[in-house]
């Protein structure tokens, strides 16, 4: 994948949309794709913490908390415990485990604000998960719809 | 077989996925620590519990790699039980060698488990052959990791006077090189690597984006302020910018990484037993990339040491991973010595 920055007009468009739906879709998508992993006991120290991801070029803010059932979108108007900011491309590189956060941080492509210990715990906990590398095709709308359908049918 | 052919590549593992990618990318040895202050990378969520350590040892051994365990902090007055238990666990887990700094722990290890291989940690701060030979005679230390304070010529002289194998740092974050003797951070946080296993405990670190730039604070003390165009480093006291006699600059050390790739033919010729890659605090992506580059470079150098050429791609890859995005040969390069 070649490095990219989303075009500015697109970011402006995203920024005027309500932010909660993004957080909701993001949380649900991860809950569906990661399932058991997100309910893992090792993530317990992160429970109840307000975590904010700012996708700078898209001007999208995802805000959520984690509990034993998974991620929950949360747009409370309070200062998040942890805010991580980066461009879309860099978030994807992190999710694919192609870049390490320190590298992005040294080159100023990733900014972390708030509770540093929480940030480190989040990073180390995610690093320690034995995941197959994330496959971005999982997040294509068609695949997500299939997953949602399967879940509905299952219930 | 010439001695140089044995040079081992020793790679960091802060987690099981990091250990696996190190092995998959050609590490001869991986080194790790337990989840507490018995090692000098004591960060929340990092390191191994007994179950993951067992799986790590199984994975490494089944792929022909060795596992070293860093037990390189000093037991405190509150008791050494935790450190002794860690040695017991290392032995039970089938760890190939423990990396120790404290002589008391060395005594316990060699008395209790005579078959357990001992390495002298960089935190032991032994920079001359008399000290290394003392550890060898007293406790049977078989390898010493040298602090990054010696010029290459000094390393060579030291090696001519000791039977102990020598391991050198090849790549990674560089500290002010008073390893094992540094208590700089404790002036600000009350904690230091030797006692608590961290330079800058995360709970004391705060990053703030301000109008003047990105600021790092350690326990309320401003360590550095980066303009938008500047690369950042770790928030340690030694790598802060200070106002000295009216000028503000990196008065102790710049954020930089050690990179000794160009010394590889010399290191092989000298018979260095192992090259160590720093970075147990880094993610699997870092471990995979650094291991791959060094494996390839060692292979190329072994095949043809006289015509060893550094591939630009290796330097580009390593440069991106470096602290502050810059690297140095450190103390090794002192031609006047």
pLDDT at A155 over 80: no
Domains of chain B listed by start with CATH number: 3-174+256-332 (3.20.20.70), 186-249 (no CATH)
Q: How many residue contacts between A and B have a Cβ separation below 8 Å? A: 96
Nearest by Cα to A90 from A109, A112, A111, A63: A109
- Over residues B211-261, the pLDDT tens digits come to 999 999 999 999 999 999 898 888 899 889 999 999 999 998 888 889 999
Distances (CA, A) of B333 to B67, B149, B154, B328, B329: 30, 10, 11, 9, 6
In chain B, DSSP finds a helix count (H) and a strand count (E) of 11, 15
Q: What residues of chain A lie within 8 A of the CB of B286, using their CB? A: 100, 102-103
pLDDT at B278 over 70: yes
Chain A residue closest in CA terms to B323: A106
- Over residues A84-118, the pLDDT tens digits come to 999 999 998 998 888 989 999 988 999 999 999 99
Other CB atoms within 10 A of residue B314 CB? 18
> What does the block give as tokens for B274?
């192992």
Greatest CA separation found in chain A? 46
pLDDT at A139: 60
> Cα distance from B284 to chain A (closest Cα, Å)?
7
Q: The tokens 């591939």 sit on which residue?
A: B311
Binding-site residues on chain A for chain B (CB distance < 8 A): 42, 45, 97-103, 105-108, 111-113, 116-117, 119-125, 127-131
CA distance B100 to B87: 10
Nearest by Cα to B255 from B223, B280, B285: B223
pLDDT at B305: 92
Q: How confident is the model at residue B198 (pLDDT cuts 50, 70, 90)?
A: confident
pLDDT at A76: 83
Q: What residues of chain B lie within 8 A of the CB of A37, using their CB? A: none
Chain centroid offset of residue B183 CA: 17
CA distance A50 to A121: 14
Class of the CATH-defined domain A8-148: alpha beta
What average pLDDT score do residues B291-306 get?
96
Domain layout of chain A by residue ranges:
8-148
> What does the block give as tokens for A148?
């949602």
pLDDT at B2 over 70: no
Nearest by Cα to B99 from B183, B11, B13, B33: B33
> Cα distance from A101 to chain B (closest Cα, Å)?
7
Cβ within 8 Å, pair A120-B255: no
Cβ within 8 Å, pair B45-A128: yes
pLDDT at A138: 61
- Over residues B19-47, the pLDDT tens digits come to 999 999 999 999 999 999 999 899 888 99
Q: Within 13 Å of residue A111, how many CA atoms lie on the same side as its CB?
A: 19
Chain centroid offset of residue B286 CA: 14
- Over residues B55-99, the pLDDT tens digits come to 999 999 999 999 999 999 999 888 899 999 999 999 999 999 999
Nearest to B44 among A98, A108, A120 (CB): A120
Chain B residue closest in CA terms to A45: B45
| pTM of the predicted structure, to 2 decimals | 0.89
In contact, B21 and B179? CB cutoff 8 Å: no
Chain centroid offset of residue B91 CA: 22
């Amino acid at each position: 994948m070649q490095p990219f920055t989303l075009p500015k007009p697109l970011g402006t468009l995203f920024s005027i949309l309500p932010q909660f739906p993004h957080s909701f879709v993001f949380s649900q998508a991860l809950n569906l794709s990661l399932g058991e992993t997100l309910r893992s006991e090792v993530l317990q120290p992160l429970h109840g913490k307000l975590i904010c991801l700012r996708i700078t070029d898209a001007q999208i803010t995802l805000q959520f908390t984690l509990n034993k059932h998974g991620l929950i979108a949360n747009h409370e108007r309070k200062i998040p415990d942890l805010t991580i900011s980066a461009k879309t491309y860099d978030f994807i590189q992190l999710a694919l485990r192609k870049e390490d956060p320190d590298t992005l941080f040294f080159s100023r492509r990733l900014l972390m604000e708030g509770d540093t210990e929480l940030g480190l715990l989040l990073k180390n906990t995610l690093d320690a998960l034995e995941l197959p590398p994330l496959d971005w095709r999982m997040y294509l709308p068609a695949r997500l719809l299939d997953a949602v359908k399967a879940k509905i049918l299952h219930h | 077989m010439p001695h140089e052919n044995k040079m081992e590549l020793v790679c960091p593992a802060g987690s099981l996925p990091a250990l696996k990618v190190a092995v998959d990318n050609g590490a001869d040895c991986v080194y790790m620590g337990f989840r507490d202050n018995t090692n000098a990378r004591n960060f929340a969520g990092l390191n191994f519990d007994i179950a993951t350590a067992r799986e790590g040892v199984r994975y490494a051994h089944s792929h022909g790699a060795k596992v070293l365990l860093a037990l390189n902090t000093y037991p405190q007055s509150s008791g050494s039980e935790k450190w002794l238990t860690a040695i017991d666990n290392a032995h039970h887990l089938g760890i190939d060698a423990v990396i120790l700094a404290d002589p008391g722990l060395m005594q316990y290890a060699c008395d209790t488990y005579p078959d357990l291989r001992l390495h002298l940690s960089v935190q032991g701060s032994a920079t001359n052959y008399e000290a290394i030979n003392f550890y060898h005679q007293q406790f049977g230390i078989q390898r010493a990791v040298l602090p990054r304070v010696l010029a290459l010529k000094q390393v060579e002289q030291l090696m001519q006077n000791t039977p102990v194998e020598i391991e050198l740092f090849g790549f990674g974050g560089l500290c002010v090189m008073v390893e094992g003797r540094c208590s700089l951070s404790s002036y600000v946080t009350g904690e230091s690597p030797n006692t608590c296993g961290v330079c800058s405990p995360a709970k004391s670190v705060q990053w703030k984006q301000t109008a003047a730039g990105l600021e790092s604070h350690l326990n309320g003390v401003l360590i550095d302020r980066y303009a938008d165009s500047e690369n950042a480093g770790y928030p340690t006291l030694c790598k802060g910018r200070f106002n000295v006699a009216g000028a503000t600059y990196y008065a102790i050390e710049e954020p930089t990484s050690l990179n000794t790739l160009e010394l590889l033919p010399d290191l092989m010729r000298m018979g260095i037993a192992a090259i160590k890659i720093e970075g147990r605090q880094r993610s699997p992506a870092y471990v995979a990339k650094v291991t791959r580059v060094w494996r390839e470079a060692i292979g190329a150098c072994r095949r043809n040491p006289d015509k060893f050429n550094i591939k630009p791609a290796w330097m580009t890859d390593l440069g991106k991973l470096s602290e502050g995005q810059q690297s140095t040969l450190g103390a090794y390069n002192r031609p006047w010595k």
